[in-house]
């Protein structure tokens, strides 16, 4: 079977999740409105917990979907709407606005965005590239934060 966006939007909890709609979009391949089971599972596969034996198994083959790097990439793609592999200030602002209440003024939000970029930016282009993103989050336990244990 196929899932459409409406199927996801019916899930009530997603309506009150700040990043809900973006996450829904992440399931759908570029420009399409339907996702089949395979595509759905591919996306979910990012969230499998990382197991140790997998790491050593296959150094030459393609990286498994649930590697740390791919998990981070999933999140990165949520921010980077125009897919230029950089999170610009505007994109960051958009995400910030989504994740923060209405009590913060635009100026405050802007300054937070500026600082965030400043913290991560290493090559001075006022945007966060994927490499910078990875670097600034190196101490975060991504494996734990982005893993679900699925039954069966």
Partner 1 sequence: GQRSSESHKNSNQSFAIVSFKWDHVKEPYIIALWILVASLAKIVFHLSHKVTRVVPESALLIVLGLFLGGIVWAADHIASFSLTPTVFFFYLLPPIVLDAGYFMPNRLFFGNLGSILLYAVIGTVWNAATTGLSLYGVYLTGIMGKLNSGLLDFLLFGSLIAAVDPVAVLAVFEEVHVNEVLFIIVFGESLLNDAVTVVLYNVFESFVAIGPMNVTGIECLKGIVSFFVVSLGGTLVGIFFAFLLSLVSRFTKHVRIIEPGFVFIISYLSYLTAEMLSLSAILAITFCGICCQKYVKANISEQSSTTVRYTMKMMASGAETIIFMFLGISAVDPDIWTWNTAFILLTLVFISVYRVIGVILQTWILNRYRTVQLEIIDQVVMSYGGLRGAVAFALVALLDKEKVRDRNLFVSTTIIVVFFTVIFQGLTIKPLVQWLKVKKTEHREPKLNEKLHGRAFDHILSAIEDISGQIGHHYLRDKWSNFDRKFLRKILMRRSAQKSRDQILNVFHELNLKDAISYVAEGERRGSLAFIRSPSTDNMVNVDFSTPLPSTVEGSVSYLLREKAGPVCLDMQALEQRRKSIRDTEDTLAHHTLQQYLYKPRQEHKHLYSRHEIMHSEDDKQDKEIFHRTMRKRLESFKSTKLGINHPKKLNKIHKRDRGQKRRNSSVIPNGNIPSENPVQDFTLKEKDLEFSESEENNDYETLHLGKGVDFLANVTKQNFTDTPAGIDNPVFSADDDQSIYTKFSPWLSGEDTVVPSQRARVQLPYSPNFRRLTPIRLSNKSTDSFLLADGPEDRPRSFLPESTHM
Q: How far is the CB of 54 from partner 1 (least distance, A)?
A: 19
- Which one, 47 or 64, has the nearer CB to partner 1? 47
Out of 67, 88, 116, 129, which residue is the one contacting partner 1 (CB under 8 A)? 116
- Which one, 59 or 80, has the nearer CB to partner 1? 80
**Which residues fall within 8 angstroms of residue 45, CB to CB, at 6 or more apart?**
65, 66
Which residue is it, tokens 């420009």?
A: 31
> Does 85 contact partner 1 by CB under 8 A?
no
Out of 34, 111, 122, 126, which residue is the one contacting partner 1 (CB under 8 A)? 111
Residue 3: phi, psi to the nearest 5?
-110, 140
> Does 19 contact partner 1 by CB under 8 A?
yes
Q: Which of 95, 93, 110 is nearest to 21 (CA)?
A: 95
Q: How far is the CB of 38 from partner 1 (least distance, A)?
A: 14
């Amino acid at each position: 079977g196929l899932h459409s966006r409406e199927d996801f939007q019916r899930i009530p909890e997603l309506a009150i999740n700040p990043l809900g709609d973006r996450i829904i979009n992440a399931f759908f391949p570029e420009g399409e409105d339907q996702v089949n089971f395979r595509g759905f599972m591919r996306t979910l596969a990012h969230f499998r917990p990382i197991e140790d034996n997998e790491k050593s198994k296959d150094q030459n083959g393609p990286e498994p979907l649930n590697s740390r790097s791919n998990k981070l990439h999933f999140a990165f793609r949520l921010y980077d709407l125009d897919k230029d592999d950089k999170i610009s200030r505007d994109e960051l602002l958009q995400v910030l606005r989504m994740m923060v209440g209405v009590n913060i003024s635009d100026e405050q939000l802007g300054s937070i965005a500026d600082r965030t970029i400043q913290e991560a930016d290493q090559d001075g282009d006022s945007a966060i590239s994927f490499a910078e993103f990875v670097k600034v989050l190196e101490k975060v336990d991504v494996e734990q934060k982005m893993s679900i244990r699925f039954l069966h």
